[in-house]
Each structure stands twice: as structure tokens, then as C-alpha cells.
Amino acid sequence: MGAGKFLKDFQPIADFAANSGPYGSLAVGTLSALFAIAQSKSKAEDDIRTALEDVRDRLPGLEMLGAIYYEKNLYQDRLRTRILLARSGVIELAITSAEYYLRSGARRWWLAVSDPKAFEMLANKVQKYVMDIREQGEQVLAQRVLEIRTLGEQQDQKISMLLSQNKSLQEGNNRLQAENDRLKLDSIREILELSSWSPEIQSERLLEYRDSLNRVGLSSHKVQWLDSDKVVAYRKERLCEWESSPASSMLLIVGRNHHSLVQRFHCWMSPLAVELILSLQLDAKPLAYYTFDIGDEGRTPVHKVMADIMLQLITVLIEAQPDESHAGLFPLLHIYRTELELREKHGGERAEKALVRAASAIIKSFHARHRLYIVLDRIDWCTSQTTLLRVLVKMTEDASCSVKVLLVAHAARWDVMIEDDRELMNCERLKSIEEKQDLRRR
């Protein structure tokens, strides 16, 4: 490198000597020969340096490929063979380079002149080995990508199969759960003597009752009547606080019909209860409701009403919390049934206490996150209006979740004076209002 640079720097002197008399050509020939030798030596050393630097940069990659691809197959065997060839070429290049540099300066000049392509050919051979590794590596990589893709497809198939199996198991579990729930409800129906009860029958009765109320409204030309639009307005104006408050509460609405109303059996506030029930059902809210049969000659026993309400609440409870057994409710229901059958012997007080314990246990079973609605229309047709109120008050007070109770009564048949009953008077959750029916405005 030093001699080459020296002669290259003296190139202008050689050009000058060539034009300087008869001996100029001899000088130029001598200098040109030296210059050619130096240039050959410089190129040889450049080839050595470039090849060694290139090999140095690629050696870690070769080691990494050897460590990654160690499996026994055709493509990876070929790759490892090419890596071995490249390593042997690198060793040969290193040995040849070392021998070159260990020789004397004159000897290195002679090797550079006599065989100027030697190092270039050796470096090209190493480069070819490296290119072969790259090509074979691309084939191995393509094979690995194909294997991964095939493995992914196989995994997708396995996942799909597992999902299908899980779906089948879930469906089977749901069927078992539904059958278990049905058996529970059948047992409770039997305990409460409600074997013929069904939500479908109850819904049919509700719609029939709604139709009868609508007919009364159409025939009442002189007095106000709560149609569906007026019910919506009433809920916004008068029930907003009751509906929006998170705390459990009871609202008793006593409707007083106008004296001119022809169909006096019906209460003009009953459409509010019916439309509220239908609205809550439409919104899939947890709900238990009861509409009294006002056409019956006698009033409905409180135990029949509460049996219906408790059955509906247990149905909601099983749907809301299916993973729980609710086994603790059965003994209380059995005790209540027994006391109810013996009430003529023991009196009604024990049966009432058993009813309160069973109803409170049901309402306590709901988690705090739930909100329940209980709607009863025409409770004035109940045999024991005070007992019904007390049971509902106790349920509201004992509930672990939010319970909203709406009661509608006809003033003409309502016998309870809340201010005369200490227990009802002390209940802060119970609110009673009276709504009087007026004449229609012209």
C-alpha cells in the first residue's frame, strides 16, 4: 500500500521524464514497471482486506443459521452442508492471507505480480458459498413458513372442533340446567298449590283485563280516564321519584272514581298498573305482579296472592342466579305450607309469620345488583288488606337489593287506614296518595 501510493504520487514525474530527452523512455519504462507491480500488490491486499471484512461480518449470521436450523430434513441438511463449505472456504482464505502477510516484502510483491487474481478468485469462492447459503436459507425459510401455515390451519381446525365440542357441552349443560330449574319450580308449585299456574296464562289474563279497562274508558264520555298516553304523562309527573330512586320503596295509589262513572267496579287508576306491568315486561325487568279478579263474588285470600307473587319471584331468582341452588328456601316454604294448613287449629297468626319468613328469605336471596318490581292492582279485593301491606312492607325492608312496589286500590272498597296502624305508620318506605277522578274538560 505504501509503495503503491509512493509511485502513484510520482506519476507526474514519470510523465515529465518521458518528454525529457533520449533517456526519458528508459526512465518511464522503469517507473511504469514499478508502478504496475505496486498496483498489483495494492489490489491483492485490497482483495484480502475486503474479503476478510466481508467474512467477518457474515460469520455471526452463519453461526446463527446453524443454531436455528438443526432439524433432520432435506432442506436443512443441504443448508448445513453449505455452511460447512463456507466455513472451509473462510479457513482457506484465512490461511492463505496469513501466509501472504508472513512472507517478506519482496516475496509479497512477486506473488502479487505473478498471480494477481489468486486472492480475488479465493474471495469470490467464499462469496459463492455465502450466496449458496442465502439461496438455501430462503428455501428452508419457505419450507418453515409452509409448515407454520399448515400447523396454523391444523390448530384452527382443532380450535373449531373444540369450540364445537364446547358448544355442544354448553347446550347440554343448559338443557340440564333448564330441566333442573323446571323440577325446582314444579316442586315449588306443588308446595304453594299452584300446579296450574303458568306465565302464559297469567299474560293472557292481563291482556283480557286490559281490554276490559279500555272498554270502560271508551264508554266513559263524561269523566277522565287513563289511556296509554295519559299513563306515560302520569309516570313522568307523579312516578318519577319512585322509579328513579335507588332505594327500596312502596307506593300505594288509592283511586277515587267520579260518582257519575257507570262501570263502578273498575278503578280509574287501574290502567296505570296494567300499563306499567306491560312496560316492565317489554324492557325485560325483573317483575312479579298480580291483578285481582274483581268479577268474583268474594275477595281473594292474601295467601293465594302471596303464593303467586313468591312463585314469580323464585322464577326470576332462578333465572337471575342460575348457579345457586336456593335450597334454603324449600324448608321455609314447607313450614309455611304446613302452618297454612293448620291455621284453623293454630290461628292465622302463625301462618302469617311463616309467610313473612318465607317471603323475606326469597327477597333476601337476590344479589344487591338487582332491582325488582312488584305491581299489584286492586288490592282492595284482598281478604286481608292489612296483612298484605305488612308482608310487602317487611319484604321491602329486608331486601338486599332495590325493590319497587306499586299498589293500586279502589277507594270505595279500601278499608285500611294507614294512620291507625302503628306498624304501617312507622314504615318510611311506604307512601300513600289518593287520586280523584274528575270530569273531562270540554
| pTM attached to this predicted model | 0.64
For domain 199-436, the CATH class is alpha beta
- Please state, as a whole number, how many other Cβ atoms lie within 10 Å of the Cβ of residue 247: 10
Closest by CA to 305, choosing from 317, 313, 297, is: 313
* Burial label, 238 (beta-carbon count in 10 A; 0-12, 13-18, 19+): middle
**Per-residue tens of pLDDT for the chain, all 442 residues:** 444 444 444 344 344 334 444 433 443 344 344 444 444 555 666 666 666 666 555 555 665 665 566 667 766 777 777 777 766 666 666 666 666 655 656 555 555 555 556 666 767 777 777 777 777 777 777 777 877 888 888 888 889 888 888 888 887 776 776 677 677 788 888 989 898 888 899 999 999 999 999 998 888 778 888 988 899 999 999 999 999 999 999 999 999 998 876 557 889 999 999 999 999 999 999 999 999 988 766 789 999 999 999 999 999 998 898 888 788 899 999 999 999 988 877 778 899 999 999 999 999 999 999 999 999 999 999 999 999 999 999 999 999 999 999 999 999 889 898 888 888 888 889 999 999 998 877 5
pLDDT at residue number 61: 60
Cβ-proximal residues to 286 (8 Å cutoff; 6+ apart), any chain: 316, 320, 370, 371, 372, 373
Cell of residue 428, nine digits: 318510611
Q: Give a three-class secondary structure readout of 384-436.
A: CHHHHHHHHHHHHHHCCCEEEEEEEEECCCCCCCHHHCHHHHCCCCEEEEEEE
Q: Are 194 and 307 in contact (CB under 8 A)?
A: yes
Enumerate helices (H) and strands (E) in the chain, giving the number of each. 16, 5
pLDDT at residue number 376: 98
Q: Are 44 and 111 in contact (CB under 8 A)?
A: yes
Q: b/e for 306-343, b at 16 or more Cβ within 10 A? A: bbbbbbbbbbbbbebeeeeebeebeebbebbbebbeeb
Where do the structural domains in the chain lie, given as residue ranges?
2-159, 199-436
